[in-house]
Amino acid sequence: GTTPNIIIADYAGFGFDYYITRFGIFAIIVIAVSLGIVFLMIRHQLEVEDSKAFDRVMDLDPWMMVPNRRMFWVYAGLFVLLITAFVIFPQPFVVAIGGMMVFMTVSHADPLASLRDIEWDIIFFIGGLFVVAGALELVGILSTISDAILSASGGHLIPASLMLLFGSWIGTFVVGGPPIATVFAPLAVDMASIMSWSIGIRDPLFWGIGFGTALGGVATPFGAVPLLILSMVSFDDSKISWRRFILSAILVNIIQIGLCSIYIILSPFLF
């Protein structure tokens, strides 16, 4: 779903089905709690003042936005096949590239035009981050940080996972999720190697990074999603100030990160 998740999955060896069962189900719980909190915060603003405008919205036909129903069902079927392939095959990048080729063939898209539309700067940016992370590992900086975290956590898995959770959460405030995931994921691998935590036992380390980078990216207006939303609402009269956004988002975000902490603490008993 996000670049940090792809990076974490690559280092941890998580598959698509693993993400669904460990992250996806818990994400639904976090969303439900968040919606309840937001409802309590804005319940007095949900009253409809213009009933005619409300009726016009409810009378809108969603199919009006679909120019070709046949292709809609074709793409829907291909999307289901793509998700199924992600679950079945162990190499997500093979499925992604294969799915892209199938979609381009069905849609008769111009390959050169599609290549021009690819955000190459992001690809090279992420590639550069992997180079930096590899350099940090070669010169021993990651090992030094790993030793410091393990020393502070007493060599215990759950405290170390919580430190990665809060560290990645706060770090994402400043530099974004991909750089933090690129540095923290090999850090988790190094910590697991030092403590001889096998695959399965070490998983909460990566959960902390995944939750931290996901939630840290929406806690402030600097994240990609908040920036998009704020730019969209700035075109009408319902502008949201940064102060209002931060006060509302931080409150919900702190509760979300608290739920993630509880999830990590209970993980030895859940799986």
At 257 the pLDDT is: 93
In the chain, % of residues over pLDDT 70:
90
How far lies 21's CA from each of 15, 27, 83, 86, 87, in Å?
Answer: 10, 10, 14, 14, 11
DSSP state letter for 20 = I
In which band, very low, low, confident or very high, does the pLDDT at 260 lie, cut at 50, 70 and 90?
very high
Tell me if 165 sits within 8 A of 208, measured CB to CB. Answer: yes
Q: Is residue 271 scored above 80 in pLDDT?
A: no
Please tell me the distance from the alpha carbon of residue 269 to that of residue 271, in angstroms, as a whole number: 6
What are the domain boundaries of the chain?
3-14+119-270, 68-118
At 239 the pLDDT is: 64
Please tell me the distance from the alpha carbon of residue 51 to that of residue 58, in angstroms, as a whole number: 10
At 173 the pLDDT is: 79
User: How many CA atoms are closer than 13 Å to the CA of 221, on its beta-carbon side?
Assistant: 13
What is this structure's pTM?
Answer: 0.78
At 174 the pLDDT is: 75
Please tell me the distance from the alpha carbon of residue 227 to that of residue 135, in angstroms, as a whole number: 32
Residue type, 112: L
Determine the average pLDDT of the residues in 156-165. 93
In the chain, % of residues over pLDDT 90:
16
In which band, very low, low, confident or very high, does the pLDDT at 267 lie, cut at 50, 70 and 90?
confident
End-to-end CA distance of the chain: 23
Q: Is residue 18 scored above 70 in pLDDT?
A: yes
Query: Which single residue is written with the structure tokens 């399965």?
Result: 200
At 131 the pLDDT is: 84
Q: Is residue 47 scored above 90 in pLDDT?
A: no
At 14 the pLDDT is: 85
pLDDT digits 0-9 by tens, 102-159: 888 887 778 788 788 887 887 887 788 778 877 877 888 878 888 888 888 888 999 9
Instruction: Please give the radius of gyration of the chain, using alpha carbons only, rounded to the nearest integer.
Output: 22
In which band, very low, low, confident or very high, does the pLDDT at 258 lie, cut at 50, 70 and 90?
very high
Please tell me the distance from the alpha carbon of residue 38 to that of residue 253, in angstroms, as a whole number: 11
At 244 the pLDDT is: 74
pLDDT digits 0-9 by tens, 211-254: 999 888 777 666 666 666 766 665 555 666 667 777 777 888 89
Q: Is residue 183 scored above 70 in pLDDT?
A: yes
Going by C-alpha positions, the residue among 259, 251, 181 that lies closest to residue 218 is: 251
Structure tokens at 23: 């992250």
